[in-house]
Amino acid sequence: MNRRSEACALVVSTLAIALISSQVIAAPQQECVGRYRLTLPGESDIALTTVTAFHEPQAANIRFSDGVLAPLSSFIYNGTFYITDAMTRDGYNSLVDTMKDRVSASQNKPYEEQRLAALPVQDAGSYAWAGRGGAAFYTFKGGKAVSFVTKSDDKREASADALDVLMHLQARGIGVVPEDPGVCLPGLFVKSSQDDKTRIVGTTYRLKMHPDVLIFFLDSKALKNQPKLTSRQKNEFVWTSEFGVGKAVKLHGTFPWRSVKLDGREGVGSFGTITRKDDSTDYGYLVTVQGDPDATTDTPDLLLYVERNGAAANGQTPVTADEIERIGEEVAASVKRR
């Protein structure tokens, strides 16, 4: 091959590599988590509740469809949601029938506090009930089975809260970001402009074209009884204690803490090399923003974490440290209050 041919081949090769790399951000996906919206750098899978958890307690019950754990995810809005797209409609109907039998059988209990009571619902396919300590419902929305539980010593209050959530719950398609006020969960939307009692909504995404890239965003309502960590303190705590990402994390830079904004709010960002328990290395980009429970408007704690998990690359070449940092910066810049 002569030099001209070699040069042409090099150009073609370079363009091909650039094209492959650009596909990570070629088709951005709009998403929403809690009361925020963000832009993902490509089509993504979402970690959901396992089917097993609908029938019996299961540790680490939010996972991707291939079983990869998403331990950071949390579906809490005025109660706790379980959400899955892996349950058939027949399986869901069986779940409801089992609960109806339990409610019916409880009527034979000797004490009122031991009995469960069915609650009136508008949707014939949904089922709600209440008992001592709280209320709950099952529903099927947009191909997803949903369980919701809210705990309270006040049975009437719990029942009202559960029925209010069910009444305003609707299915939400992939990439659909509602304009109405409310709270986004994976594949779901609760339309509401009222103050939230609790909101700890965190969703984990995995890029389809680069399954080694995980993106987690958390919208957590700031409450007065919570520890008031600064953005810097929270950032340090996450790396050293909360996530348990590996046996060691080395942050980059002489002064690794940088100023990063989420939705125009000042926060702290950092980027580090992660040493896994098997001594392999990966990378993570983290931004934390301190909430304010005393603010006149809802000012929640926010957290964005973008991580490379090279073990999940499925034979592909894992993305580089620079690409993880770039993805993190671009997602951070896209975060906006809906």
Q: Assess whether pLDDT exceeds 90 at residue 230.
A: yes
Q: Which domain holds residue 256?
A: 26-43+208-338
For residue 229, give the CATH number of its domain: 3.40.1000.10
Residues 178 and 265 in one domain: no
Residues 281 and 309 in one domain: yes
Residues 33 and 53 in one domain: no
- The last residue of a domain, from among 157, 177, 197: 197
Residues 164 and 54 in one domain: yes
Q: Cα-atom radius of gyration of the chain, to the nearest Å?
A: 23
Q: Assess whether pLDDT exceeds 60 at residue 16.
A: no
- The last residue of a domain, from among 153, 177, 197: 197
Residues 171 and 221 in one domain: no
Residues 224 and 282 in one domain: yes
- At 26, is the pLDDT very low, low, confident or very high (cuts 50, 70, 90)? low
Q: Assess if residue 17 is contained within a domain.
A: no
Split into its structural domains, the chain has a count of 2
Q: Assess if residue 68 is contained within a domain.
A: yes
**Mean pLDDT for the chain overall:** 91
Q: Locate 79 and state its tokens.
A: 């109660």
Instruction: Return the pLDDT at 20.
Output: 44
Q: Assess if residue 202 is contained within a domain.
A: no
Q: Calculate mean pLDDT across residues 170-187.
A: 96
Residues 166 and 242 in one domain: no
Q: Assess if residue 20 is contained within a domain.
A: no
Percent of the chain with pLDDT over 70: 92
Task: Note if the pTM is more than 0.85.
Answer: yes
Instruction: Give per-residue pLDDT as tens, 248-283.
Output: 999 999 999 999 999 999 999 999 999 999 999 999
Residues 168 and 243 in one domain: no
Q: Calculate mean pLDDT across residues 8-20.
A: 39
Q: Assess if residue 15 is contained within a domain.
A: no
Instruction: Return the pLDDT at 314.
Output: 87
Q: Assess if residue 4 is contained within a domain.
A: no
Instruction: Return the pLDDT at 184.
Output: 98
- The last residue of a domain, from among 174, 197, 220: 197
Question: What's the rounded Cα separation, in Å, for the pair 83 and 88?
Answer: 13
Residues 38 and 70 in one domain: no
Residues 64 and 114 in one domain: yes
Q: Assess whether pLDDT exceeds 60 at residue 12.
A: no
Instruction: Return the pLDDT at 124.
Output: 87
Residues 6+ apart with CB under 8 A from 302: 36, 217, 218, 219, 220, 262, 263, 265, 267, 287, 288, 289, 291, 335
Residues 122 and 56 in one domain: yes
Task: Return the minimum-mean-pLDDT range out of 3-7, 127-131, 319-323, 333-337.
Answer: 3-7
Q: Calculate mean pLDDT across residues 102-113.
A: 94
Residues 147 and 166 in one domain: yes
Q: Calculate mean pLDDT across residues 191-219.
A: 96
The long-range contacts involving 96-104, CB below 8 angstroms and separated by at least 24 positions, are 96/127, 96/138, 99/127, 99/129, 99/138, 100/127, 103/129
Instruction: Give per-residue pLDDT as tens, 40-99.
Output: 999 999 999 999 999 999 999 999 999 999 999 999 999 999 999 999 999 999 999 999
Instruction: Return the pLDDT at 24.
Output: 42
Q: Assess if residue 336 is contained within a domain.
A: yes
Q: Assess if residue 9 is contained within a domain.
A: no
Instruction: Return the pLDDT at 176.
Output: 95
